[in-house]
Structure 1
Amino acid sequence: MELPSSKPKVSVCVVTYNQAGFIRECLQSLVDQKTNFFFEVIVGDDASTDNTGDIAQEFADAYPGLVKLIRHKTNVGPTRNYLAVHQMAMGDYVSHIDGDDCAMPGKLQAQADLLDQRMDISFTVHAVKVIDTDKKIERSKNFPIQGSLHDLLNLGTYFVHSSVMYRKCNEFVHDPAAGEIVDYFFHIERASWGDIYFDDRILGGYRIHEGGISKSLKDREMLEVCYENAFDRALSFGIDFAVVQSARLKRRMAFAISAFMMGEKGAYKRKVFLSDNDYPYATGKHRALHWSRSVPVLMQIYMRVRNAQSNRG
């Protein structure tokens, strides 16, 4: 890394909460990055109740000017923590990484080089290795190397959030009164500025562990509202209503199936329901489930068929 200048080329934003068992590996993988430019690492600790903050402080003390720590005194929630870190970023490019994930050697240089070379790209993502396993999360043959906002709406998030490095060309504004928002909202926002490039190189480690996602009905319903807000945001960019509504209904169907799998039959019926206005934009499968929503055995057959197809794939 070059000697510190008045402005870093890349800002690495790390968000963390109660990740004492992982944050050291994450931060070490970042300070060890070799680059031909100056970068900064900004850590947002959301008032962890374990020693996550203390470990992050160790790095801030050991690497002054490189590692900067925002240590919230009270828990502000994931969205406000995320925004606090990303709004502090001074780099031309901003890399996001969750505190339980890590960067492979060469990650920052590779992604910055790509953004230097391709002005039509708003952000770049990459393949990852699942930590402590032999598994990898790579680009499916159905996913584009260079994708657009339309692809993001049609496919959903087809990459790991901790692999994102984006061009900081606009200020992201979010009203805290609007509540929590999901990663997908940020991706839609940035995809409105330019394309998404999927680098097939494995440049990061991604951790899958218990406790990462709440399974309570209340939290999942809050997540649904977050996605609805993201689709509304896409409409505000002038994306065709039919494209957005089709994507919206695909997501609603996914939430409906999740509710069914959790044994919440009433929630399933509500979520799979299609209004007259929705019906033209729904898939054939969604329409079939809508009409058969009061006959659970048909949903069970659908799930068996879907699982069989997945296993063959």
Structure 2
Amino acid sequence: MRKPVISVCVTTYNQRDYIDLCLRSILDQQVDAEMQLLVGDDASTDGTSEVIAALVQEYGSRVQHLVRSPNLGAFENMCDLIGRAEGDFIARVDGDDYWLPGKLARQLAYLKCHAGCVAVFTNAVTVDEAGKILGHFNDLGDVQLDLAALVRRGNVLNNSSVLFRNGNQYAWLERSEQIDYQLHLELVRNGQLGHIAEPLAVYRVATRGSMVAASNARVRELYWQAIQSVPRDLVNDADYAHGLADFLRRVLFRSIATRSLALLRTWVARVYAVSPYGRVRMTTLVAANTLRMAGKMLVAYISFSGYEKNVLYRH
């Protein structure tokens, strides 16, 4: 096979019910570019390996099936795949998500037209484990984000939708366990991140094995580490404080959902300890962020019907 233009990296572990759809949605992309598909099968035991093996028989060398033994874990599995990627552009996908027609062609054209962007994401349709449509991943629209904007808005980008330029793998290869937001904050230091408003991927919410569902406290701690990893000389006090306010608003919503006042107290203390603003000004920022988000949710609930009112991550 000729040197690929696009390398697609897929991680999977015990996702027998989803992996066929995921891989076919990639292989069926109509794009005028040579594609390399790398599948990291992390020692699956539920029949996932057999599903992938059948696709290898069907598609031949278009699918490279890497069976791990022993289990690497999701992050190391993806790091290894990205380290093997040979394409000029690299995409990554979780094995329980999938793409919609036209995704890769749109993103490849986008990056060729926007030299200042190191990566481009798309919106995504959110579904449950059974595939029922729930709503949209975000409400960002067609935008380009710099570091300041990403710090202010928080984690709103769908990681299974990304296409980035080769040469930016360091975001995955230089760290241990981290969440998507950390990777995005690393990428944006090299250039802007584009976002296409149209949903061109499908994201499964809180599936079994999901880190967000199974280890919410750990995800919150990693999210905090991501914010703190941004060098303070790269963002001004206002951007940093707004990022802290957005984080604390998320904690507030979580504490209400779980009825845990202790959770809120713990994080109020940690946020206020590093805030560049005093308690009154910081409290005002958190209140404004919370009211703005609650207002957007209320407007969506009143104005829209069906899944259009459900947005997983509002900015």
- Normalising TM by the smaller chain, what interval? 0.7 to 0.9
Corresponding letter in the other structure for 1:184: Y
Report the CA distance between 1:285 and its aligned residue: 5.8
- Aligned counterparts of 1:22 and 1:233: Cα–Cα separation in 2: 34
Aligned match of 1:137: 136
- Aligned counterparts of 1:184 and 1:247: Cα–Cα separation in 2: 12
Per mean C-alpha deviation after superposition, the further-off stretch among 120-129 and 36-45 is 120-129
Aligned match of 2:185: 188
Is the contact between residue 15 and residue 97 of structure 1 (CA under 8 Å) also seen in structure 2?
yes
Alignment deviations for residues 227-276 of structure 1 (CA, whole Å, 9 cap, x no partner): 22212332177333542343134213412431342122222211123546
- Aligned counterparts of 2:273 and 2:221: Cα–Cα separation in 1: 21
Is the contact between residue 256 and residue 272 of structure 1 (CA under 8 Å) also seen in structure 2?
no
Which of residues 25, 28, 39 in structure 2 aligns to 1:29? 25
Mapped pair 1:16 → 2:15: no
Mapped pair 1:202 → 2:205: no
CA 1:257/1:271 → structure 2, altered by over 3 Å: closer, same or farther? farther
CA 1:130/1:266 → structure 2, altered by over 3 Å: closer, same or farther? closer
How many residues align? The count is 295
SS at match of 1:63: helix
CA 1:305/1:162 → structure 2, altered by over 3 Å: closer, same or farther? closer
Mapped pair 1:170 → 2:168: yes
CA 1:311/1:103 → structure 2, altered by over 3 Å: closer, same or farther? closer
Give runs of aligned pairs for residues 18-97 of structure 1, distance below 5 A: 18-97=14-93
Is the contact between residue 256 and residue 269 of structure 1 (CA under 8 Å) also seen in structure 2?
no
- Aligned counterparts of 2:87 and 2:294: Cα–Cα separation in 1: 49
- Aligned counterparts of 2:25 and 2:142: Cα–Cα separation in 1: 29
Per mean C-alpha deviation after superposition, the further-off stretch among 255-264 and 9-18 is 255-264
- Aligned counterparts of 1:136 and 1:15: Cα–Cα separation in 2: 24
Report the CA distance between 1:206 and its aligned residue: 2.5
Report the CA distance between 1:111 and its aligned residue: 1.0
CA RMSD of aligned residues (A): 3.3
Corresponding letter in the other structure for 2:189: S
CA 1:74/1:256 → structure 2, altered by over 3 Å: closer, same or farther? farther
- Aligned counterparts of 2:182 and 2:164: Cα–Cα separation in 1: 14
- Which has the greater radius of gyration? 1
- Aligned counterparts of 1:198 and 1:133: Cα–Cα separation in 2: 25
Is the contact between residue 14 and residue 47 of structure 2 (CA under 8 Å) also seen in structure 1?
yes
Give runs of aligned pairs for residues 1-313 of structure 1, distance below 5 A: 4-5=1-2, 7-131=3-127, 132-133=131-132, 136-137=135-136, 140=139, 145-172=143-170, 179-211=176-208, 212-215=210-213, 219-235=215-231, 238-273=234-269, 275=272, 277-278=274-275, 279-280=277-278, 282-284=282-284, 286=286, 311-312=301-302
Structure scoring higher RCO (CA < 8 A, sep ≥ 6) equals: 2
- Whichever structure has more helix as a proportion of its residues is 2
CA 1:276/1:225 → structure 2, altered by over 3 Å: closer, same or farther? closer
CA 1:237/1:190 → structure 2, altered by over 3 Å: closer, same or farther? farther
Report the CA distance between 1:179 and its aligned residue: 4.3
Alignment deviations for residues 288-313 of structure 1 (CA, whole Å, 9 cap, x no partner): 9xxxxxxxxxx9xxx99997566446
TM-score normalised by length of structure 2:
0.80
CA 1:10/1:78 → structure 2, altered by over 3 Å: closer, same or farther? same
CA 1:52/1:253 → structure 2, altered by over 3 Å: closer, same or farther? same
SS at match of 2:190: coil
Alignment deviations for residues 187-243 of structure 1 (CA, whole Å, 9 cap, x no partner): 111111111222233322222354335556xx3332222122212332177333542
Aligned match of 1:294: none
- Aligned counterparts of 1:19 and 1:286: Cα–Cα separation in 2: 39
SS at match of 1:33: coil
Corresponding letter in the other structure for 2:223: Y
Is the contact between residue 12 and residue 94 of structure 2 (CA under 8 Å) also seen in structure 1?
yes
- Aligned counterparts of 1:128 and 1:173: Cα–Cα separation in 2: 22
Corresponding letter in the other structure for 2:191: G
Aligned match of 2:306: none
Q: Give the unaligned 5+ runs of structure 2.
A: 304-315
- Aligned counterparts of 2:88 and 2:186: Cα–Cα separation in 1: 17
Report the CA distance between 1:150 and its aligned residue: 1.5
- Aligned counterparts of 2:171 and 2:295: Cα–Cα separation in 1: 44
